[in-house]
């Protein structure tokens, strides 16, 4: 099983779609193994988005992500990184396919509802940035034998 880092961004929280987004993740068959609501500090935001430090949108991205609480999660499943990116959709919600989270909920690249890790390396890095090992829970779900 693979783990990925998922975060409902401030616009998702402010628009009241936390439940809707989590529901899509669960409905797909993915398993939530850690979750918390938190306000991201400037420092954590800069670390999380370090790869975009030189981009023209970096300042706006940091203000956006620290503007209101987020819901951070660790999500587990077979090929979870790729599967979550697929249900999340393209970075720009205006171009994301209908049926994806961004495609169904957003209009603007600077307000795209959700983050998901894009590779095994970023998943590992981001999970460690947001969660301590004790916060990630190991448990069995009765439905798992019907999913795989």
Which residues sit at the interface with ligand RTP, rule CB under 6 A? 52, 57, 61, 91, 109-110, 112, 115-116, 118
Position of tokens 């697929």?
86
Which one from 81, 89, 115, 130 is the annotated catalytic residue? 115
Query: How far apart are alpha carbons 76 and 42 in whole angstroms?
Result: 28
Is 9 a known ligand-binding residue? yes
CB 109 within 8 Å of CB 148: no
| Shortest distance, position 84 Cβ to Mg ion, whole Å | 12
| Shortest distance, position 28 Cβ to ligand RTP, whole Å | 17
Pick 31 or 115: Cβ nearer ligand RTP: 115
Residues 109-128 that bind Mg ion (CB under 5 A): 118
Is 112 a known ligand-binding residue? yes
Q: Is 48 a catalytic residue?
A: no
Query: How far apart are alpha carbons 119 and 125 in whole angstroms?
Result: 10
Pick 38 or 57: Cβ nearer ligand RTP: 57
Find the length of the chain. Answer: 148
| Shortest distance, position 131 Cβ to ligand RTP, whole Å | 17
Among Mg ion, ligand RTP, none, the one that 20 touches (CB under a kind-dependent 5 to 8 A) is none
Pick 29 or 110: Cβ nearer ligand RTP: 110
Give catalytic residue positions. 115
């Amino acid at each position: 099983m693979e783990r990925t880092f998922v975060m409902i961004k401030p616009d998702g929280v402010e628009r009241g779609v936390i439940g809707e987004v989590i529901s899509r993740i669960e409905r797909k068959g993915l398993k939530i193994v850690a979750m918390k609501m938190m306000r991201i500090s400037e420092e954590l935001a800069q670390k999380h988005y370090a790869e975009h430090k030189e981009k023209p949108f970096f300042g706006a991205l940091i203000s956006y992500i620290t503007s209101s609480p987020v819901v951070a999660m660790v999500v587990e499943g077979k090929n979870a990184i790729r599967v979550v990116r697929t249900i999340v959709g393209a970075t720009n919600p205006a171009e994301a396919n209908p049926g994806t989270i961004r495609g169904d909920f957003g209009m603007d690249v600077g307000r795209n509802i959700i983050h998901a890790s894009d590779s095994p390396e970023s998943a590992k890095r981001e999970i460690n940035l947001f969660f301590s090992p004790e916060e990630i829970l190991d448990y069995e779900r009765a439905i798992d034998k019907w999913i795989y």
